[in-house]
Structure 1
Amino acid sequence: MAEHRIPRSLRETIAAQEGVLTRQQLTHAGLPGDLVRSNVRAGRWQRVLPRVYATFTGPLTRSAQVWAALLYAGAGATVSHETAAELWGLVDQPGHGVHVTIGVDRRVRSLVGVQIHYSYRLDATRHPNRRPPVTNVEETVLDLVDQAERPQDAEMWVIRACQRRRTTPERLGIALDARKKIRWRSEVQRLLVDVSTGAESPLEITYAQRAERAHGLPPGRRQRHRRFGQQSRRSDVEYEDFRTVVELDGLTGHTEEGRFRDYQRDNDTSVRGRVTLRYGWTDTTTRSCHVAWQVAEVLKANGWQGRPRPCGPFCAVGELAA
C-alpha cells in the first residue's frame, strides 16, 4: 500500500513516535485492517511487538524501542526505572530492555526486552510535559532506590542525581515523604541530610556517616571554597572553628599531577594556620573508628570541648581515648 493513503494527522503521530505505531491507531484513523499486513509482506514495515509495528526496515533506534514498548503497554504507559534514568541523564549507556510502568487497574504481560511495572500513583509521578511520557526525576530515583539490593546501590542513585544537578535533596525528600512504602527509607533520609550539607561523593558520604556522625564529632562544612590569589581551592570537610581540614582521596588514588595539587592545597591550608588530615578509601571505610579518633584529637588540640563517643561495643575510639 502506498504511504500517501495514511492521513496527515496519523503521519505526524508516527513521526512523533519515532516511526512506530499500533494497529489500533490505524483502525482509529479509518484505514483498512490489511494495510499492516500488506506493508509487512512488501518489506516496507516490520512487526516489533504484538500489535506494534515500525514503518521502516532495519534496526530500531533506542528511541523507537522505547516508543514501541510504551505503545505495547497501552493507555497511560510511562517510561520508568532504568529507562527513565537514561532519559534523565542518570546513566551514560542505554540498557538492553525498556522499563515501563502502568496503573494497577490494568495487566500487561512482560516480554523479552519489555519489563512492566505497576503503580498506584502513576498520574502523580509522571512528568507533566515530557515526551515520551516518563516518571519525573525524583520518582525515577526512588523507584531505583526501592529495587536496589544493597544500601550502597540505593545511595549511588541519590548521589548521582544530585551530583548531575538533575534534582536536589529537598525535592527528593518531599518525594520520599509522599511514599508510604519504600526500601532503604532511613538510609536515604540520612543520606539526604549529608548531601544537603555539601557532600558530593560516596567517600564523603561514608566519612560523614561512619566517622563524623557515628562518633559524635561536630559537623564540618563540606566543599568549602576559598581563594588564594588567582586560584580557588576547595576543601572536602572543614571544621572552621577548630582550624582543621579533612581531605578525602578517591578509591583509585591520584596521579602524580593530582598528588602535586594535593600538596599545594595542603600547603595553602597550612599557611592559613589549619591542620590538614588526609584519608583514602580504605581508611574511611575499614578504619573509620581510628579516623574519627585522629580527627577528634586534632579538634580537641584546637579548642573543641567535646569528646568522641564509641559507635559500638568494639569501637576503637573508646580504647584509644582511654
Structure 2
Amino acid sequence: MNSVLRELVERGGGLVTRAVAEQVVPEWTLRRACDGGHLVRVLPEVFVAARLLNRRQGTDGAPAVSRLDPALAHRAACAWAEGRGALSHLSALALWGLREPVAGDLLHLSAPAGAGLRGRPGVAVHRRRGLTLGPPDVVVRRGLAVTCLEQTLLDSWPVLPPGERREPLIRAVNDRLTTPERLSAALGRVPTLEDRAACRTLLTRLAEGCRSELEIWGQDHVFTGAGMPAFRRQVQVRVGRRTMYLDLFAERERVDIELDGASTHGDPRQREIDLRRDALLATVGILVVRFARRRLVHEADDVRRETLAILASRRGVPSPGPNGVLASR
C-alpha cells in the first residue's frame, strides 16, 4: 500500500474516509489499496485496514462493518453519517457504558427525517422528526455523537429481550447518570413504546427508592400491604466518620431490612464487612435484619410474617439520641 495512505490509515486508528484520503493521494491509490487487499470498504466512502476484520465472521456472509471490533464499527458508522446522524439504541447504550458491546451487533443510527441517510447492511437508520443533532437531543461520548441518555434507554427498551430491558435503566439511576423523574418525563414523550406499562411501573419503583431487581421484588411481593410501615429506602446514616445506606428503614421501630443478593452469599470477606456494619448501626439503636435472595423469592410469606413480628417487638423502643444522623439519599 502507498506509504502516505498507510500513514493516514494508521493515524486514523485503522480507518479512513474517501474524502480525507483524496486530500493527500489520488483516487487510484485508494482503489489500488482495496484491490490489493490492504483496505476494505465497510460502508460507502469508509475504508478500514483489512487486518482489522474478523476473518471467522466473514464465512457466514456478515457485512464487512459487522466484522469489526465494536469500537471501530461505531467509528465507521459515525464517519459514514458525516454529522447527519448519531449513534442510538443499543449502539448508544454501549457508548453510555450500560451494555457490553458485542461484535457483529447491528449498528443503530438516529437521524432527522430529511437527513438523507438510509440503512445499509449491518446498519439500521431510524428517522426521527424534530431530532436536533446537538444538545439536548445528541451529545458526545468518547468522541462520538450519541443520542441523550434518556432517549437511548427508551429506544433500547423494545430492542432488548424482555428479560434484559430493566437492567440498563436500573444501572443508569444507580450510577446517577439520570433520575427516575427525567426518565418519566422522556417516557411521556413516547406514547407508543412497546410494553410501556412495564416501563412505567419500573420507573415508579425507581422513584420510590428501589435500586435493584431484588428490592423491586421485595416491594411488589413482601414489604407492602397490611401492617407494613412506610419504609424509607436508601436512607443515609452517618455514625461517627462512616456513612452507610439502609435498604429499607422503619424509622419508628428503628429497624433496617437489608436484602442480600446472590453475589454476597457465601463470601466470607463480605460477611465480615456486613457484621461490622451491623454492629456499628447497633450502637445507635438500629437493628439490622438480613434476608437472602433465596428466602425473599421462595419464602415470601414467611419473610413477611417474620418482618411483622420483628417490627411489633420493636415498637416503643426508645431512640438513643442524635448519635446516628439520618438523611434521605
Give the TM-score of the pair, scaled to structure 2. 0.72
Helix, strand or coil: the match of 1:181?
coil
| CA-to-aligned-CA distance 1:111-144 (integer Å, 9 cap, x gap) | 2x43444444543774145542211111111122
Superposed displacement of residue 147, structure 1:
2.6
Q: 1:98 to 1:237 in 2, by over 3 A?
A: same
Query: Unaligned stretches of 5+ in structure 2?
Result: 53-67, 317-329
Maintained 8 Å contact 1:212/1:219 = no
**1:185 match:** 196
**2:292 pairs with 1:280:** yes
Helix, strand or coil: the match of 1:172?
helix
Q: 1:101 to 1:297 in 2, by over 3 A?
A: same
Which has the larger displacement, 159-168 or 85-94?
85-94
Maintained 8 Å contact 2:108/2:125 = yes
- Residue pairs, 1:117-132, within 5 angstroms: 117-120=126-129, 122-123=131-132, 126-129=137-140, 131-132=143-144
- Residue pairs, 1:101-116, within 5 angstroms: 101-103=109-111, 108-111=118-121, 113-116=122-125
| CA-to-aligned-CA distance 1:275-300 (integer Å, 9 cap, x gap) | 43211112222333432333233334
User: Which of the numbers 51, 61, 68 marks the counterpart of 1:58?
Assistant: 51
Give the Cα separation in 1 of the matches to 2:131 and 2:10.
26
Helix, strand or coil: the match of 1:147?
coil
Structure with the higher helix share, 1 or 2: 1
Helix, strand or coil: the match of 2:145?
coil
Give the Cα separation in 2 of the matches to 1:146 and 1:217.
35
Maintained 8 Å contact 1:82/1:95 = no
What is the identity, as a one-letter code, of the residue corresponding to 2:144? Answer: P
**2:164 pairs with 1:157:** no
Q: 1:270 to 1:71 in 2, by over 3 A?
A: closer
What is the percentage of aligned positions where both structures have the same residue?
26
Give the TM-score of the pair, scaled to structure 1. 0.73
Give the Cα separation in 2 of the matches to 1:81 and 1:16.
29
What is the identity, as a one-letter code, of the residue corresponding to 2:203? Answer: L
Give the Cα separation in 1 of the matches to 2:282 and 2:155.
45
**2:324 match:** none
Maintained 8 Å contact 1:66/1:98 = no
User: Which of the numbers 77, 85, 95 marks the counterpart of 1:69?
Assistant: 77
Q: 1:123 to 1:299 in 2, by over 3 A?
A: same
User: Which of the numbers 88, 98, 107 marks the counterpart of 2:96?
Assistant: 88
**2:270 match:** 258
Query: Unaligned stretches of 5+ in structure 1?
Result: 6-10, 305-322
Structure with the higher strand share, 1 or 2: 2
Q: How big is the alpha-carbon RMSD for the aligned residues of Structure 1 and Structure 2?
A: 3.6
